[in-house]
Amino acid sequence: MSSLVSALLRQQQQITAVDRFSNWHDQSHGRDEERYSESFPSLELKPGQQLAFEVDMDACTGCKSCVTACHQMNDLDPGEVWRNVGRLHGGTAAAPVQLTVTASCHHCLDPACMRGCPVGAYKKDAITGIVEHLDDVCIGCQYCTLTCPYDVPVFNADRGIVRKCDMCASRLSAGEDTACVQGCPNDAISIRPVDVAQVLEECEAGSLVPGAPAAHHTYSTTRYVSKKPMPRNLLPADYYTVRPQHSHPSLVVFLALSQLAVGVFFLAAVLSVSPLALCIGAAAGVLGVGASLFHLGRPMYAYRVMAGLRTSWLSREALAFGAFAGLVVAGTGLTLVAPGYRLIGPTIITAASLGVVGLVCSALLYAATERPLWRAPATIVRFCATAVALGGAAIGVSTSAPGVVFLLIPAAVFVELVADVSVLLHLRDRHNSPLRRSASLIAGPLRTWAQVRVLLAVIGGIVLPLTVGAPAAPVTLAGLLVVALISRHLFFVAVSAPRMPGRATA
């Protein structure tokens, strides 16, 4: 008993890192600047250098003081987090290893957030290398939340914009250290100058930490150091956890309706279709473009999206579909009021061409996020198949519809089903790859959605067009529209998003 009491007393006398910092602070007699100045980085950088975070994983205890300090000193809103803390587990039962990973923006050499932003709401400081977000420019399109491989930008629904860590640039310029550095009681975080050439070499070697996305995608500058041996099985604690992603309902509606419209006018450019089909396509195109505005946090500034035409696929998609919507309305109107007007054909052909361009831009803007489920070839096939199936069903509503459309519909539906089933084949992967994660979601939490989609697609998109034909066209169109909505819903929620250990998304 005495030995147990002695052991407990010794344990009680071992103060934590927080206690040590508190004791030092109480004994410093107001000389806090001496402690902080020791870790404060020099802003006089040499050519070819920039500032970067350095994290000592041996010193980090996971207390989340950095998270709290960041939240308080940056006056973040409730639920808004710019810094996260995760854990790496590995080793053996005899020699277990656990390391703590604190992560924020990595202020990359080639920031994907800045590269894909359609409005230029990001800038990289030419001297310090800090990547800052311009809140007053942001329109809340949230595309940067998809392009960033580290899941750094955070959408603030109340403000209608995205925000992120700027390395407390204003504090650095005023001679103050960053919030996370000052808040860490164990000096686990510091800011150091790094050589750009060295960062490029290190990023080619692999990831920042086990389980993190490959560093060469954006050339992250953050350095994680540890003196502990790194076992081969060291992985994030949540490595095998999969969760559905955000569904983006406005984008689901936009994609389904815009693809319906593109399908109608593409087929109208090569087949003789009725004015009713053109009206359905025009209405879908206008409603689809309108639905996309509801995705923006600040839709009144949607016009700013044209600023990124040189670098952003989102800007190109917006331009293509904006022009497409105008031409489909013009072409349909001319067909109704002046059936013999000679410019009707060229207008429809131009609209169809712009629609196809917009559809490809839609696929490429998701492929640019480098998520395997959204790879360009598979995404283009899915989007084109949906467009042909929905366009054929809309044209089939007319009693004068060409018979070939009732063969195109099942063919397109079959192609998309094959593309979707190919994802499920990755359930057999030994490696916990992103596509296996997506397959696990589709076969698990999202199974009901997937089953309903397949059932409706087979009945409405294959059986009815081949057996009933034109009389069932309205039912086929309604069923395939539901299928398209479910397909685009699964497109978003089943994707496996890259992340740092401990991030909230899967």
What pLDDT was estimated at residue 29?
Answer: 46
How far is the C-alpha of 408 from the C-alpha of 416, rounded, in Å?
Answer: 12
Mean pLDDT of 40-68: 87
Q: What's the burial of 8, exposed, middle or buried (CB within 10 Å: 0-12/13-18/19+)?
A: exposed
Same CATH topology for 36-236 and 249-493? no
User: Do residues 396 and 477 lie in contact, with contact meaning Cβ atoms separated by under 8 Å?
Assistant: yes
What pLDDT was estimated at residue 39?
Answer: 54
The token pair at 461 is 């998109």
205/78: higher pLDDT: 78
Query: Is the pLDDT assigned to residue 505 strictly greater than 50?
Result: no
- Express each pLDDT in 447-481 by its tens digit: 999 999 999 999 999 999 999 888 889 999 999 99
- Express each pLDDT in 345-398 by its tens digit: 899 999 999 999 999 999 999 999 999 999 999 999 999 999 999 999 999 988
End-to-end CA distance of the chain: 48
Query: Is the pLDDT assigned to residue 37 strictly greater than 60?
Result: no
- Domain boundaries of the chain, sorted by first residue: 36-236, 249-493
Q: What's the burial of 306, exposed, middle or buried (CB within 10 Å: 0-12/13-18/19+)?
A: middle
pTM: 0.88
How far is the C-alpha of 300 from the C-alpha of 139, rounded, in Å?
Answer: 8
Query: Is the pLDDT assigned to residue 34 strictly greater than 60?
Result: no
- Residue 34 has a CB neighbour count (10 Å cut-off) of 9
Q: Which CATH class is domain 36-236?
A: alpha beta
Q: Which residue in 7, 11, 10, 35 sits closest to 23, CA to CA?
A: 35
What pLDDT was estimated at residue 476?
Answer: 94
Exposure on the CB side of residue 388, measured as CA atoms within 13 A? 19
Q: Which residue in 455, 458, 459, 453 sits closest to 486, CA to CA?
A: 453
How far is the C-alpha of 256 from the C-alpha of 385, rounded, in Å?
Answer: 11
User: Do residues 423 and 381 lie in contact, with contact meaning Cβ atoms separated by under 8 Å?
Assistant: no
DSSP string, 153-166: -EEETTTTEEE---
Given the structure tokens 């590995």, which residue do they identify? Answer: 90
What pLDDT was estimated at residue 273?
Answer: 86
Query: Is the pLDDT assigned to residue 131 strictly greater than 50?
Result: yes
- Express each pLDDT in 163-221 by its tens digit: 999 999 998 988 888 999 999 999 999 999 999 999 999 998 888 888 888 888 899 99
User: Do residues 461 and 480 lie in contact, with contact meaning Cβ atoms separated by under 8 Å?
Assistant: yes
How far is the C-alpha of 177 from the C-alpha of 169, rounded, in Å?
Answer: 9
DSSP string, 300-356: GGGGGGGGGTTT-HHHHHHHHHHHHHHHHHHHHHHHHH-TT-TTHHHHHHHHHHHHH
What pLDDT was estimated at residue 79?
Answer: 87
How far is the C-alpha of 27 from the C-alpha of 4, rounded, in Å?
Answer: 33
What pLDDT was estimated at residue 503?
Answer: 63
Q: What is the CA radius of gyration of the chain?
A: 27
Q: Reduced to 3 states, what is the DSSP secondary structure of residue 189?
A: strand
According to CATH, the superfamily of the domain at 249-493 is Formate dehydrogenase/DMSO reductase domain (1.20.1630.10)
Average pLDDT, the chain: 89
Q: For a pLDDT cut of 90, what percent of the chain falls above it?
A: 68
How far is the C-alpha of 193 from the C-alpha of 184, rounded, in Å?
Answer: 19
Q: Are strands 84-91 and 235-236 parallel, antiparallel or unpaired?
A: antiparallel
What pLDDT was estimated at residue 506?
Answer: 36
- Express each pLDDT in 235-293 by its tens digit: 998 888 889 999 999 999 999 999 999 999 999 999 888 899 999 999 999 999 999 99
DSSP string, 114-161: HHH-SS--EEE-TTT--EEE-TTT-----HHHHH-TT---EEETTTTE
Q: Reduced to 3 states, what is the DSSP secondary structure of residue 214?
A: strand
What is the biggest distance separating any 2 CA atoms in the chain, rounded to whole angstroms? 104
Under the banding of pLDDT at 50, 70 and 90, the label for residue 40 is low
- Express each pLDDT in 297-321 by its tens digit: 999 999 999 999 999 999 999 999 9
What pLDDT was estimated at residue 279?
Answer: 95
125 - beta bridge partners? none
